[in-house]
Amino acid sequence: MNRRKLTSITAAGLALGLLASCGGGGGTDNNGATGFNAAAERVVNQSTKTGGTLQGALSSDWDSIDPGNTYYAFSWNFARTYGRALTTFKTGAGDAGLELTPDLAQGLGEVSADGKTVTYKLRPNIKFEDGTPVTSKDVKYAVARTYARDVLPNGPTYFVDLLDAGDYAGPYKNKDLNAFTGIQTPDDQTIVFKLKQPFGDFDYLVSSPQTVPVPQAKDTGAKYLEHPISTGPYKVDSYVPGKEFILSKNTNWDASTDPNRKQLADKIDIKLNTNAEDIDNRLLAGSLDFDVAGSGVQASAQSKILSNASLKENADNVFSGRLWYFVMDEKVAPFDNIDCRKAVQYATDKVSLQTAYGGPVAGGDIANTMLPPNIVGHQDFNLYPTPDNKGDVNKAKEALAACGQPNGFNTKILLRSDRPHEVSAGEALQQALAKANIKAEIVSVPAGQYYTRFAGAPNYMHQNNIGIAFTGWQADWPTGFGFLQQLVDGRTIKPQGNTNIEEMNLPNVNALFDQAAASKDPAQREQIYGQIDKAAMEQASVVPFLYGKGLLYRNPQMTNVVISFAYGMYDYSILGIS
Amino acid sequence: MTRYILTRVLGAVLMLVVTSIVVFGIFFIVPRLAGQTTDQLAAQYVAKDPSPEEIAAIKQKLGLDQPVVIQYGRFVKGIVVGREFQFGPDTEYCPPPCFGYSFKTQRPVWPDLVDRLSVTFSLAIGASIIWLVAGVSIGVLSALRRGTFFDRFAMIIALAGVSLPIFFTGLLSLALFKPTGVNYVPFTDSPFEWAYNLLLPWITLAFLYAALYARLTRAGMLETMSQDFIRTARAKGLPERTVTTKHALRATLTPILTLFGLDIGLLLGGAVLTESTFSLPGIGRYAIDAIGNNDLPQVLGVTMLAAFFIVVANLIVDILYAVADPRVRLS
Category of A416 on φ-ψ map: left (φ > 0), alpha (ψ -120 to 50) or beta: beta
Residue B271 confidence (pLDDT): 86
Mark which residues 321-380 of A lie under 8 Å from B by CB: none
Residue A30 confidence (pLDDT): 45
What's the rounded Cα separation, in Å, for the pair A326 and A544? 6
Minimal C-alpha gap between A153 and chain B (Å): 5
B52 neighbors A496 (Cβ within 8 angstroms): no
Disruptive mutation site among B45, B49, B101 for chain A (greatest number of A CBs within 10 Å):
B49
What's the rounded Cα separation, in Å, for the pair B324 and B313? 16
Mark which residues 260-279 of B lie under 8 Å from A by CB: 276-279
User: What three-state secondary structure class fits B192?
Assistant: helix
Q: Please compute the mean of the pLDDT values over residues B103-131 and round it to a whole number.
A: 90
Minimal C-alpha gap between B91 and chain A (Å): 10
By the CB < 8 Å criterion, does B289 face chain A?
yes
Grade residue B179 by pLDDT with cuts at 50, 70 and 90. confident
For strands A439-445 and A563-564, give the pairing.
Answer: unpaired
Residue range A110-149, pLDDT digits in tens: 999 999 999 999 999 999 999 999 999 999 999 999 998 8
Q: Which residues of A touch B174 (CB under 8 A)?
A: 278, 281
Residue A550 confidence (pLDDT): 92
- Please provide the size of chain B in residues: 331
What's the rounded Cα separation, in Å, for the pair A300 and A295? 15
Put simply, the answer to whether A274 touches B181 (Cβ < 8 Å) is yes
Put simply, the answer to whether A223 touches B87 (Cβ < 8 Å) is yes
Put simply, the answer to whether B180 touches A497 (Cβ < 8 Å) is no
The single-letter DSSP state of residue A205 is H
Residue range B189-236, pLDDT digits in tens: 899 999 999 999 999 999 989 988 999 999 999 999 888 988 998 999
Put simply, the answer to whether B171 touches A277 (Cβ < 8 Å) is yes
Put simply, the answer to whether B279 touches A448 (Cβ < 8 Å) is no
Which of B148, B278, B313, B134 has the alpha carbon at shortest distance from B208?
A: B134
Residue A108 has pLDDT above 90, yes or no: yes
- Please provide the size of chain A in residues: 578
Residue B49 confidence (pLDDT): 65
By the CB < 8 Å criterion, does A308 face chain B?
no
Q: Which residues of B touch A275 (CB under 8 A)?
A: 276-279
Between A90 and A447, where is the model more confident? A90
Minimal C-alpha gap between A392 and chain B (Å): 37
Disruptive mutation site among B105, B173, B294 for chain A (greatest number of A CBs within 10 Å):
B105
Put simply, the answer to whether B181 touches A288 (Cβ < 8 Å) is yes
Whether residue A372 has a cis bond before it, omega within 30° of 0: no
CA A57 to chain centre: 20
Residue A27 has pLDDT above 60, yes or no: no
Q: Which residues of A touch B61 (CB under 8 A)?
A: 150-151
What residue type is assigned to position A569 of the chain? M
- Which residues is A443 bridged to in the sheet? A414
Backbone angles phi, psi at A18, to 5 degrees: -65, -45
Residue A16 has pLDDT above 60, yes or no: no
Q: Which residues of A touch B276 (CB under 8 A)?
A: 275
Residue range B267-314, pLDDT digits in tens: 888 788 899 889 898 999 889 888 888 888 899 899 989 988 988 888
Buried b (16+ CB within 10 A) or exposed e, A222-253: bbbbebbbbbbbbbbeebbbbbbbbbbbbebb
The fold adopted by the segment(s) B110-330 is MetI-like fold (1.10.3720)
Weakest-pLDDT range from A81-85, A159-163, A525-529, B39-43: B39-43
Mark which residues 24-63 of B lie under 8 Å from A by CB: 36, 39-40, 43-51, 53-54, 57-58, 60-61
Residue A32 confidence (pLDDT): 42
Question: What interhelical angle do B2-33 and B68-81 show, nearest 10?
Answer: 140
Residue B329 has pLDDT above 80, yes or no: no
Weakest-pLDDT range from A63-72, A364-373, B54-63: B54-63
Prediction pTM value: 0.85
Between A394 and A452, where is the model more confident? A394
B106 neighbors B304 (Cβ within 8 angstroms): no
Residue A14 confidence (pLDDT): 36
Residue A547 confidence (pLDDT): 96
Residue B325 confidence (pLDDT): 65
Residue B47 confidence (pLDDT): 66
Domain boundaries, chain B: 2-108, 110-330
Residue range A271-296, pLDDT digits in tens: 998 888 889 999 999 999 999 999 89
For strands A244-249 and A267-271, give the pairing.
Answer: antiparallel
Nearest residue, CB atoms, B179 vs list A171, A281, A448 = A281
Residue range B232-249, pLDDT digits in tens: 989 998 898 888 888 888
Q: Which residues of B touch A499 (CB under 8 A)?
A: 48-49
By the CB < 8 Å criterion, does A99 face chain B?
no
CA distances from B301 to A181, A357, A501, B34, B114 (A): 42, 37, 37, 25, 11
- Nearest-5° angle of CA A225, CA A226, CA A228? 60
A273 neighbors A58 (Cβ within 8 angstroms): yes
Residue A5 confidence (pLDDT): 35
DSSP string, A46-63: ------SEEEEE-SS--S
Q: Please compute the mean of the pLDDT values over residues A302-320 and round it to a whole number.
A: 93
Residue A29 confidence (pLDDT): 44
CA-based Rg of chain A, rounded to a whole angstrom?
24
By the CB < 8 Å criterion, does A282 face chain B?
yes
Residue A182 has pLDDT above 60, yes or no: yes
| CA atoms in the 13 A half-sphere facing the CB of A442 | 18
- Which residues is A268 bridged to in the sheet? A54, A247
Residue B71 has pLDDT above 50, yes or no: yes
What's the rounded Cα separation, in Å, for the pair A418 and A416? 6
CA distances from B328 to A572, B248, B318, B325 (A): 65, 16, 10, 6
A86 neighbors A104 (Cβ within 8 angstroms): yes
Put simply, the answer to whether A499 touches B48 (Cβ < 8 Å) is yes
What's the rounded Cα separation, in Å, for the pair A313 and A318? 14
Whether residue A360 has a cis bond before it, omega within 30° of 0: no
User: Which residues lie below 8 Å from residue A375, measured CB to CB, with a gap of 6+?
Assistant: A321, A475, A478, A479, A480, A482, A483, A529
CA distances from A191 to A124, A143, A203, A205, B205 (A): 13, 11, 13, 15, 58
Residue A519 has pLDDT above 60, yes or no: yes
Grade residue B66 by pLDDT with cuts at 50, 70 and 90. confident
Residue A22 confidence (pLDDT): 36
CA B19 to chain centre: 15
User: Which residues lie below 8 Å from residue A182, measured CB to CB, with a gap of 6+?
Assistant: A143, A159, A163, A164, A165, A168, A193, A194
Instruction: Tell me the residue ranges of DSSP E strands in chain B.
Output: 83-86, 91-94
In percent, the amount of chain A with pLDDT more than 70 equals 94
What's the rounded Cα separation, in Å, for the pair B51 and B47? 10
Put simply, the answer to whether A150 touches B61 (Cβ < 8 Å) is yes
CA-based Rg of chain B, rounded to a whole angstrom?
24
Rounded to a whole number of angstroms, the distance between the first and last alpha carbons of chain B is 7
Residue range A420-444, pLDDT digits in tens: 899 999 999 999 999 999 999 999 9
Q: Round the average pLDDT of chain A to a whole number and report it.
A: 90
Disruptive mutation site among A64, A141, A151 for chain B (greatest number of B CBs within 10 Å):
A151
Weakest-pLDDT range from A79-93, A558-572, B8-22, B309-323: B309-323
Put simply, the answer to whether B44 touches A497 (Cβ < 8 Å) is no
B57 neighbors B51 (Cβ within 8 angstroms): no
What residue type is assigned to position A412 of the chain? K
Residue A546 confidence (pLDDT): 96
Q: Which residues of B touch A486 (CB under 8 A)?
A: 49
What's the rounded Cα separation, in Å, for the pair A277 and A497? 32
The single-letter DSSP state of residue A223 is G
For strands A53-57 and A290-291, give the pairing.
Answer: parallel
What residue type is assigned to position A486 of the chain? Q
Nearest residue, CB atoms, A273 vs list B90, B171, B281 = B281
Minimal C-alpha gap between B272 and chain A (Å): 12
CB atoms within 10 A of CB A59: 20
By the CB < 8 Å criterion, does A275 face chain B?
yes
Put simply, the answer to whether B278 touches A275 (Cβ < 8 Å) is yes
